[in-house]
A and B are shown apart, each in its own frame.
Chain A
Amino acid sequence: MSDSWIILGATSSMAKAFARAVSDRGERVFLAGRDMADLEAMASDCLFRGAAVAEAVKFDARDSAGFGAIVERVRKEDGLINVAVFVGSMPPQDAIDTDPTLIQGVVTDSHTGPATFLQMIAPEIEARGGGTVVGVGSVAGDRGRIGNYVYGSAKAGFHTYLSGLRNRLTRSGGHVVTVKPGFVDTAMTWDIEGMFLVAPPENVARDILRAVEKKTDVLYTPFFWRIIMGIIKTIPERIFKKMSV
């Protein structure tokens, strides 16, 4: 029997790789995002790669009025309901310095928007006695840095939300995987200078799927980012505040 996966932010390359991986297993995929034409192309791709159902659904993190329709649609399916969150936005820090009101959009896209959606779907996961939420955060959320602390703080908030949701869903058999990717080769990072150890999205998707199976709580991908962030987190604040890492 197939289960359902709602994929928020389905047009990103990481989400595309993940959607293909679950399609390959014959699951149902609901591809949620803003660019409907692109989502339709994704849906067709997933269908021919083996998805039992593949549909494009409209999702705008900044417009929670549309969330209910997605929940209603997926409720019609039997089997478990799973959600993978790939949304987020990262304007350059200096753009935010010029226009501080940009913060609102970053926080909505990366934290409060998806969190609102997850609040709405959580009762359905509980009612079915299982299901997994994959929340893609960022290593940037582990410590505030001069280069992107607004994005980092939104992701940090999302991490904390996910840990609370895990605490809640565990009680009814559900699970939450917090994913902290390092540098991944996506449209977001394409033109950023100084990237290193950049991982292909297909590898990240494979790691996430394994984490779902093993019920991992917090996944760093590629794995060595756990070590890198372990070191960065232990630097005392009075030293860290003078550094630019």
Chain B
Amino acid sequence: MAWKTLTYSGWGRMKQATGPVARPERVSSLARALEDRPGPAIGNCRSYGDACLANDAPAIQTTRLDRILGFDEETGILEAEAGLRVGEIARIFAPKGWLPAVMPGTGFATVGGCIANDVHGKNHHSVGSFGQHVVELTLMQGGVPKTVTPKKKNTKLFEATIGGLGQTGVIASAKLQLLACKGDVMMVTERRIDGFDEFIAALDASNSPYSVGWIDATARGDDLGRGILEEGETGYGLVPAKKSSKSVPFDAPGFTLSAPIVKAFNTAYFRRVPAAGRTLVKPIQDFFFPLDRIHDWNRLYGKAGFIQFQCVVPPDKAEALKTILKEIAKAGLASPLAVLKRMGPGRAGLMSFPMEGYTLAVDFKNTGLAKSLIGRLEQMTADAEGRVYLAKDATLNAKHMPQMYPELPKFVAYVNKLDPDGAFETDLTRRLQIRSAS
């Protein structure tokens, strides 16, 4: 098997790893790679921090294993290799009336990555997490594939694999239950929301299958927590012509996302929606993956990269989330990318992020000030009995792990038995001392 020494990073580009990477193009070469040098799987590296990194250790990139292996038009069950991108599934199957049941904010995420991080989407409150729609998966710890289902016999292995950060081996393929949709357009209603409490109330009251809030994380005082609530459902009709994608050709200079520019941008973005609200018809890609149209947008943050802080707190801790937002607004470091969402209870793995409550995600340019702010936010999240999303994380202190992820001991005991040599460890599991937690 061919191995190439690569230096690569997660989407936030603040952490890097250098190590041998194999990129098998067939199942037989995936088996050979695993026999040769077992290592964690990496996909399109769209997790932000170090969940997709293995410094000084082998890693197996699954992006070329991206084929559709089967689809049942009656049941909507799709079988695909782990490297297939979620956006591809949507593009191919939406015109036939099916969508991935759960789609993260980027269509570039792979099926394998969505499983290993048990990702959620704009419909988490109505359908739960990605892992809840996995009917079966094929896992490889060495050269021999193993079929895993959520049924009795495999329950433990299944629960440790969904959201399991690759620690149970390489996911080679999976069967996914797709969700029936009307067509490949979205009917989207956008409304201005004037403040945090109103936002929480609006999210609670929403009964749309898809909902997400953009929040102006620079607004303070009376405007704290103002933003735009987007609610959507699938529909059919004539799709507006797809605009061609753009890309950011180089690292942007430092002032690009400086405080005054972000503030001005956010105000304009807020006012873009009329005070009375509006309803639009959008192609599905524009609703689910708005940022994918700008390739390499992570370069806007310059060479140092960026950090995304995403937490979830229980429903009765909305006040605590407001304090977190206040802290962010006070620091004035936020970028325009900030999202508030209601989460349902749905989760499928021991280490899954979702919990019933409210989730907030904010991007920060990677600076010393941002890191110390995020450190405070992590403590506040822990105090509010919430947790930080590991797919985004690059900074969390390991001491928060047992409290944030109460099923960690169960996970560790199981995984350590399965992989005693720690072959599937990643930079994230090492940094957070996950495999040595007890």
Q: Which residue of A lies closest to B67 (CB)?
A: A45
List CB contacts (< 8 Å) of A19-68 with chain B.
Answer: 35, 37-38, 41-42, 44-45, 48-49
Is residue A191 contacting chain B, with contact meaning CB distance below 8 A?
A: yes
When chains A and B are docked, how far (Å) is the Cα of A156 from the Cα of B4? 29
Q: In the complex, what residues of B have CB within 8 A of residue A48's CB? A: 68, 71, 92
CB distance from A140 to the nearest CB of B (A): 19
Encoded as 1 (CB less than 8 Å from any B CB) or 0, chain A from 179 to 193 comes to 000000011001100
B67 lies within 8 A of A44 (CB): yes
Q: In the complex, what residues of B have CB within 8 A of residue A37's CB? A: 27-28
Q: In the complex, what residues of A have CB within 8 A of residue B3's CB? A: 191
Is residue A13 contacting chain B, with contact meaning CB distance below 8 A?
A: yes
CB distance from A88 to the nearest CB of B (A): 15
Is residue B29 contacting chain A, with contact meaning CB distance below 8 A?
A: yes
> On chain A, which size bracket covers the interface?
10 to 19
B26 lies within 8 A of A35 (CB): yes
When chains A and B are docked, how far (Å) is the Cα of A35 from the Cα of B81? 17
A35 lies within 8 A of B28 (CB): yes
Indicate whether A187 sits within 8 Å of B29 (C-beta atoms), given known contacts A41-B81, A48-B92, A49-B92: yes
Q: Which residue of B lies closest to A24 (CB)?
A: B92
Is residue B248 contacting chain A, with contact meaning CB distance below 8 A?
A: no
A41 lies within 8 A of B64 (CB): no
B2 lies within 8 A of A191 (CB): yes
B26 lies within 8 A of A191 (CB): no
Q: In the complex, what residues of B have CB within 8 A of residue A190's CB? A: 2, 4, 23
When chains A and B are docked, how far (Å) is the Cα of A41 from the Cα of B81? 9
Is residue A108 contacting chain B, with contact meaning CB distance below 8 A?
A: no
CB distance from A188 to the nearest CB of B (A): 9
When chains A and B are docked, how far (Å) is the Cα of A44 from the Cα of B92? 14
When chains A and B are docked, how far (Å) is the Cα of A187 from the Cα of B4? 11
B28 lies within 8 A of A187 (CB): no
Is residue A138 contacting chain B, with contact meaning CB distance below 8 A?
A: no
Is residue B406 contacting chain A, with contact meaning CB distance below 8 A?
A: no
Is residue B402 contacting chain A, with contact meaning CB distance below 8 A?
A: no
Q: Which residue of A lies closest to B1 (CB)?
A: A191
Q: Which residue of A lies closest to B61 (CB)?
A: A190
Is residue B69 contacting chain A, with contact meaning CB distance below 8 A?
A: yes
Q: In the complex, what residues of B have CB within 8 A of residue A16's CB? A: 25
Pick from B4, B27, B69: contact of A45, CB below 8 A. B69
Encoded as 1 (CB less than 8 Å from any B CB) or 0, chain A from 181 to 212 comes to 00000110011000000000000000000000
When chains A and B are docked, how far (Å) is the Cα of A237 from the Cα of B64? 41
Is residue B260 contacting chain A, with contact meaning CB distance below 8 A?
A: no
B4 lies within 8 A of A191 (CB): yes
List CB contacts (< 8 Å) of B1-38 with chain A.
Answer: 2-4, 23-29
A-B pair number, CB within 8 angstroms: 43
CB distance from B123 to the nearest CB of A (A): 24
B68 lies within 8 A of A187 (CB): no
Indicate whether A38 sits within 8 Å of B26 (C-beta atoms), given known contacts A49-B92, A190-B4, A191-B2: yes
Is residue B70 contacting chain A, with contact meaning CB distance below 8 A?
A: yes
Is residue A221 contacting chain B, with contact meaning CB distance below 8 A?
A: no
CB distance from B139 to the nearest CB of A (A): 17
Indicate whether A44 sits within 8 Å of B26 (C-beta atoms), given known contacts A13-B64, A190-B4, A191-B2: no
A12, A38, A41, A49, most chain B CB atoms within 10 A:
A41
CB distance from A199 to the nearest CB of B (A): 15
Q: In the complex, what residues of A have CB within 8 A of residue B71's CB? A: 48
Q: In the complex, what residues of B have CB within 8 A of residue A12's CB? A: 25
Encoded as 1 (CB less than 8 Å from any A CB) or 0, chain B from 46 to 73 comes to 0000000000000000001001111100
Pick from B25, B28, B70: contact of A44, CB below 8 A. B70
List CB contacts (< 8 Å) of A142-166 with chain B.
Answer: none
When chains A and B are docked, how far (Å) is the Cα of A37 from the Cα of B67? 13
Is residue A178 contacting chain B, with contact meaning CB distance below 8 A?
A: no
B25 lies within 8 A of A11 (CB): yes
Pick from B4, B28, B68, B70: contact of A38, CB below 8 A. B28
Q: Which residue of B lies closest to A195 (CB)?
A: B4
When chains A and B are docked, how far (Å) is the Cα of A11 from the Cα of B64? 11
When chains A and B are docked, how far (Å) is the Cα of A42 from the Cα of B69? 8
CB distance from B85 to the nearest CB of A (A): 12
List CB contacts (< 8 Å) of B57-102 with chain A.
Answer: 64, 67-71, 81, 92
Q: In the complex, what residues of A have CB within 8 A of residue B4's CB? A: 190-191
B26 lies within 8 A of A11 (CB): yes
When chains A and B are docked, how far (Å) is the Cα of A187 from the Cα of B2? 8
When chains A and B are docked, how far (Å) is the Cα of A155 from the Cα of B135? 47
When chains A and B are docked, how far (Å) is the Cα of A11 from the Cα of B28? 12
Indicate whether A41 sits within 8 Å of B2 (C-beta atoms), given known contacts A48-B92, A49-B68: no
B69 lies within 8 A of A44 (CB): yes
Q: In the complex, what residues of B have CB within 8 A of residue A11's CB? A: 25-26
Q: Which residue of A lies closest to B93 (CB)?
A: A48
B64 lies within 8 A of A44 (CB): no
When chains A and B are docked, how far (Å) is the Cα of A236 from the Cα of B221? 75
Q: In the complex, what residues of B have CB within 8 A of residue A13's CB? A: 25, 64
When chains A and B are docked, how far (Å) is the Cα of A135 from the Cα of B81? 29
B23 lies within 8 A of A187 (CB): yes
CB distance from A210 to the nearest CB of B (A): 17
When chains A and B are docked, how far (Å) is the Cα of A41 from the Cα of B25? 12
Q: Which residue of B lies closest to A49 (CB)?
A: B92
When chains A and B are docked, how far (Å) is the Cα of A28 from the Cα of B27? 25
List CB contacts (< 8 Å) of A45-95 with chain B.
Answer: 45, 48-49
Q: In the complex, what residues of B have CB within 8 A of residue A35's CB? A: 26, 28
CB distance from B63 to the nearest CB of A (A): 10
Supply 11 A–B pairs (Cβ within 8 Å), ascending by A: A13-B25, A37-B28, A38-B28, A41-B69, A44-B67, A44-B68, A45-B69, A48-B92, A187-B25, A190-B23, A191-B2
The 9 closest A-B pairs by CB, nearest first: A45-B67, A191-B2, A48-B68, A38-B26, A191-B4, A45-B68, A190-B2, A187-B25, A41-B67
- A-side residues, CB < 8 A to B, are 11-13, 16, 35, 37-38, 41-42, 44-45, 48-49, 186-187, 190-191
Known: A13-B25, A187-B23, A190-B23. 4 other contacts (CB 8 A): A41-B27, A44-B67, A186-B25, A190-B2
